[in-house]
């Protein structure tokens, strides 16, 4: 069993971008999912690479969890309080890592004086975001690669604290 309770959190660097793509791929393609295989294949057919991936990540603040020198999870904060990416390797789930990453992101958002955090949560991420105090603004269905995927627009107001 992984020792993710001892995982160290830090900010991502450009040297991490390939590893983040692998974590995302592993989380979507190999973890328990409410999406079928065709939907998962359409969402993440392969680990992300290239200039678009680099540009997307470079524009965000990214908290990563490192366990035994391997990135096991990450969460990213884009502009306007948007949590763009949140993925944890299947082997590292169920040990409080989502909460630790989220708390790091919320702290950063508060430092940036954001008034709210919001995200588009997958069917798997929605319960975790709800546990952090997010509420569903509206359910959505997005078309990706010929597949329809359900998700939720969610938000959390940052008042006080």
What are the residue boundaries of the structural domains of the chain, listed by start? 4-157
Tell me the mean pLDDT in the region 25-44. Answer: 96
According to the model, what pLDDT value does residue 64 have?
98
CB atoms within 10 A of CB 100: 18
Q: What is the DSSP letter of 7?
A: P
Measured CA distances, 146 to 7, 42, 47, 85, 152 (Å): 37, 7, 19, 22, 19
Tell me the mean pLDDT in the region 63-82. Answer: 96
Q: pLDDT above 70 covers what percent of the chain?
A: 96
pLDDT tops 60 at residue 58:
yes
Question: Hey, which residues does 24 pair with through a beta bridge?
Answer: none
Write the pLDDT tens digit of every residue in 78-87.
Answer: 999 999 999 9
Under CATH, what is the fold of the domain 4-157?
A: Aminopeptidase (3.40.630)
Q: How many CA atoms within 13 Å lie on the side-chain side of 157?
A: 3
Most distant CA pair in the chain: distance in Å? 43
Whether 144 contacts 95, CB under 8 Å: no
According to the model, what pLDDT value does residue 89 have?
96
Whether 129 contacts 85, CB under 8 Å: no
pLDDT tops 60 at residue 75:
yes
- Whether this prediction's pTM lies above 0.75 is answered by yes
């Amino acid at each position: 069993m992984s020792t993710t309770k001892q995982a160290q959190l830090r900010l991502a660097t450009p040297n991490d971008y390939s590893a983040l793509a692998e974590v995302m791929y592993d989380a979507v393609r190999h973890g328990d999912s409410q999406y079928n295989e065709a939907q998962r294949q359409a969402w993440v057919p392969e680990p992300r690479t290239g200039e678009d991936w680099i540009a997307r990540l470079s524009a965000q603040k990214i908290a990563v969890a490192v366990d035994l020198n391997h990135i096991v999870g990450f969460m990213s904060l884009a502009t306007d309080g948007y949590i763009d990416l949140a993925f944890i390797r299947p082997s590292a789930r169920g040990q409080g890592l989502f909460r630790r990453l989220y708390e790091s992101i919320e702290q950063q958002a508060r430092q940036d004086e954001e008034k709210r955090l919001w995200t588009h949560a997958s069917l798997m991420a929605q319960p975790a975001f709800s546990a952090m105090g997010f509420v569903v603004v509206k359910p959505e269905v997005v078309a990706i690669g010929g597949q329809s995927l359900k998700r939720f627009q969610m938000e959390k107001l940052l008042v006080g604290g």
